[in-house]
Structures are given as C-alpha cells and as structure tokens.
A = this chain, B = another copy of it.
Amino acid sequence: MSPFYKAAHTSTKAGSRARTGIITTPHGTVQTPAFVPVATKGTLKGLSPIQIDSVHAQLSFVNTYHLVTHPGHEVVKNAGGIHAYSGMQRTLMSDSGGFQVFSLAKQSRRASVRGDEDPMLVKISESGVQFRSLFDGQLIEFSPEKSMEYQIDIGADIHMAFDECTYNGATHEYTVESVHRTHGWLDRCIAYRRDHSHPTHIQFLYGIIQGGCFEDLRIESAKHLRTREVDGVAIGGVSVGESKSEMRDQVRWISPYLPEDKPVHLLGVGHMDDILDLVAYGIDTFDCVEPSRLARMGILLMIEGLHGPLSQLKWSELDMTKNEFKSDFTLLPIPQTILGIQPTYSYLHHLFKQKELLGYTIATVHNLLVMESLMARIRRGIEENEI
C-alpha cells in the first residue's frame, strides 16, 4: 500500500514552505493542498453524494460531537461506518469533539457568571467532560479515550486527537496548563488506539498543536508533536475570535517546526485569502464551513484571474438575494451535467427570494467548484514555484 502521506514538490520560492503532496487512505487519494468541505452531521448540506463527486471535493469533514449527539456513534458503527451510512465514499476526516465540548463549557461558564442555571454541562475534569445533550437530554461523555472510541466507530479515515481548545482571552498561565493537558491527552489517545484499532479499516491519527495566542507555547506544542507517533498534525484554535493577522501569526510562528514527512491540517480556516497566504507556511489541508454556509445565504464566491499570475488573483462575493439580479441572465459557471441546468443569476435570485431548496444546492455547488478551482490553481502555482 502507498504511504499515508507522500510529499511531492516543495516550492523553491524564497521564504515559502508551500508544498504539494498526496494523502492516501482506504477511501481514495487526495492531492494537496486541498480544501475540505464540512459535512457536519454526515451530510454536506444541500448536496447528494453524487453532487459532492461532481464538485470534485477530494475529501470531507464530519463532526464527532454532532454525530454522537445524533444518530449516535453506535448507529453509525452498526450501519457499517460513516462512509456506508452517508454514501460519502471519499476520504473523510473527523474532529475530536473537543472544540464543541469546550464551547459548551464556555457557554456554561458564562451562564454561571450570569447566575443562570447551568444549561447542560455536568462535570469537567482532567479525565474528561460529561454533559447532557441539547438534542434529547442524554448524558454524553467526552475524554481522550471516548473521543477515540467515537471516532473509530464513526469510521472516518483521519481522526483528530482529543484536545482542549483554549478560549479567546485565556491567560498565559492557563494556556500553559491547557497545552500540557492536550499533550497528555494525545498520549492517552495513542495508548487507547494501540488496543482498540478498527478491525478492518486503517484509520489515521493527527495530533493537535495548541498554545493559544502565545508564540512560546505554540512553538513548544509544535516541537512536542514532532516527538509523538502520529500520522499527521493539525493546528487548532487559531480561528477562535482572533483577528486575521493574529491568526496568521500563530501559523507563521510554528511553520519552521511543522513535520516534513506528515500532512498538516488547519482546523476551521478556509477563506480564499487565508488559504492563499497560509499554504506558504506549509499547510496541506483546510476545513471550513464558510463556502457552503455563505452559499445557503445566497452569497456566491467569485474568483477572477485564475489564468494569470497568482499575485493578480481577485476574489469577491455576490449577494444573489439583491434585486439587481432579477433580470440578469448571466450564466453561472456550473457545467450543465451537474444539475441538468446551467442556471442564470436571475433564476438563482428567484429561488432565493422564494426560499426554494434548489437555490441552496445551486449556490453550494457553485462555491465548492470555485474553491476547487482555487486549490487546483494553487497546486499548479506551487509546482511552478510561484507561491
């Protein structure tokens, strides 16, 4: 079998660490850098699996917390895993659930400051977190071991170690503790998987770099990851409330310490300008809900200059709900074969004004095609040492 990750070309452009590569899992190969559309609850909102194929999405991302809440990891396991359950027969990544769990914790902390009754959190400790599902009140437990169990059952190809995503504004003192807790939890994840790997499906583990907004802690975390037996590395917590330049700093600091022989994922980041800047720091994959979420609001991502130099690339957003599109018969650049129609702006405007379901599908197909065309252009740019 091919190795999980194979670096292809690293840009020779001064200051760049951009690289192309290939990730291989039992569910396919992924040319990197790649954008990872998010299918939170086991469905990429508005698209059938065949439509996901047609936008050339190489892989997708599911959320462990949401799937554990409903339908439950055991249901997905009994269905034969998330690929069979959802029909998404491509490389899938799952997160650890940590991000959502600690968001709940933060909300509950705020609630207790306000004197409200704690809405759902039951117990948080070094060993893990217990809380009641917002969906049906059942008691759910997250810990390094539980997160691994859930992710193995759900059955994505690439899993994330359970980590604490520190909240925006955490002190250096708190973040030191938190990073060390995340590192300890990684070792527990690795230990759990030694005894509990999936019987037939080869699944891969990424460790998570945390460290909040502190350069020393980010670097410590990145260096620590180099000493651990993981298949890849993910960078967590950079999208939590910081400004764009702070977010980029956090990736830049650790760029020299990222592994050469393992893929690097950036969690929750994927604006077009972010991607273009951050591949130069050595990021291979980006998951982000933004292109599909904007689509469902009627916002089309537009990109110009794909055939010119990358430095001239221009992007913008077009709000299809605006009345100026009512009689605009410009064709969207969606091949007829995908939906059986090459829709006009006018038709898409009509669908959004009338809240028709097909509008969400058309806009999502459009935005994901744009993301794929950007990623293909970036891969070519790296091969040609342009970026």
Contact = CB atoms under 8 A, between A and B. Distances in A.
Q: Interface size for chain A: under 10, 10 to 19, 20 to 34, or 35 or more residues? A: 35 or more
A349 interface: yes
Contacts of A71: 326-327, 346, 349-350, 353
Contact of A52 (B47, B49, B72, B340): B340
A263 interface: no
- Give how many copies assemble into the complex: 2
Interface stretch (A37-45, A143-151, A222-230): A37-45
A21 to B, nearest CB: 27
Contacts of A360: 357
Contacts of A342: 87
Interface in A318-352: 326-327, 329, 337-344, 346-347, 349-351
A351 B47 CA distance: 12
Interface in A156-181: none
Contacts of A48: 51, 338-341, 358, 361-362
A351 B75 contact: no
B42 A329 contact: no
A50 interface: yes
Contact of A78 (B43, B72, B329, B357): B329
A43 B356 contact: yes
A187 interface: no
A86 to B, nearest CB: 7
11 contacts: A42-B350, A45-B358, A47-B358, A48-B51, A71-B326, A71-B350, A75-B326, A79-B344, A86-B347, A87-B341, A89-B340
